[in-house]
Structure 1
Amino acid sequence: MWWLCQSVSLVKAESRFLVQWVAVTVAGFLVSLLWIEVGERPDVNWLVGVVGGLSVGGAQWFVLRHHISYPWRWIFVSAIAWCLMGLTPMGAMGWMAPRTLNLFLRLFYGVIEGFKVGVALGLFQWWALRESVFWGRRWVVASVVCWSVGLPIGWLLGGILRQLTGFFLGDVIGLTLTWTIVAGLTGVGLMQLFWTQVRIRQ
Structure 2
Amino acid sequence: MSTELATRGIWQSWFRWTTMGEFAGFLAPALVGALTSSAELLVLAGVVEGAVLGAAQAVVLRRVFRTPQSSYWIGATAVSAGFAWAVAMIAVHNGERFNSLPPAVLLPLAAVMGTGVLLSIGVAQWFVLHVHVHRAHLWVWANALAWAAGLGVFFAVATPLWQPGQPPALIALIGAFAGLLMASTMAAITGAALVHLVKQG
- Provide the C-alpha distance between the structure 1 equivalents of 2:186 and 2:32, rounded to a whole number of angstroms: 17
Whether 2:22 is the aligned partner of 1:25: answer no
Cα RMSD (Å) of the superposition?
A: 2.8
Structure 1 residue aligned with 2:184: 180
1:136-167: CA deviations, max 9, x gaps?
Answer: 1111111111111111112101123336xx64
Q: Unmatched 5+ residue regions in structure 1?
A: 1-5, 97-111, 198-202
1:125 CA displacement: 0.5
| TM-score where L is the length of structure 2 | 0.73
Q: Is the 8 A contact 2:54 2:77 kept in 1?
A: yes
1:38: how far off?
A: 5.3
2:26, 2:132 → 1: CA distance?
31
CA displacement 1:84-137 (0-9 Å, x = unmatched): 233x3424xxxx9xxxxxxxxxxxxxxx77744330111100001010001011
Deviations 1:41-81 (A, max 9, x none): 73653311221111111011110112234431211110111
The alpha-carbon deviation at position 33 of structure 1 amounts to 5.7
Q: Which residue of 2 aligns with 1:82?
A: 81
Amino acid across the alignment from 1:83: G
How far apart in 1 are the matches of 2:115 and 2:147? 6
TM-score (norm 1): 0.73
Assess, with a 3 A threshold, how the Cα gap between structure 1 residues 44 and 179 changes in structure 2: closer, same or farther: farther
CA spacing shift, 1:177–1:14, aligned 2, 3 Å: same
Q: State whether residues 47 and 82 of structure 2, in contact with CA within 8 Å, keep that contact through their aligned partners in structure 1.
A: yes
Indicate the residue corresponding to 1:109 in structure 2: none
Cα distance in 2 for partners of 1:171, 1:35 equals: 11
CA contact (8 A) 1:115 1:147 kept: no
More contact order relative to length (CA 8 Å, sep ≥ 6): 2
Distance 2:88 2:38 in 1: 8
Structure having the higher helix fraction is 2
Call closer, same or farther: CA 1:157–1:196 in 2, change over 3 Å: same
Extract unaligned runs of 5+ from structure 2.
93-110
Q: In structure 2, what is the equivalent of residue 103 of structure 1?
A: none
Q: Does 1:71 align with 2:75?
A: no
SS of 1:25's partner is: helix
How many residue pairs match? The answer is: 171
**Identity over the aligned pairs, expressed in percent?**
26
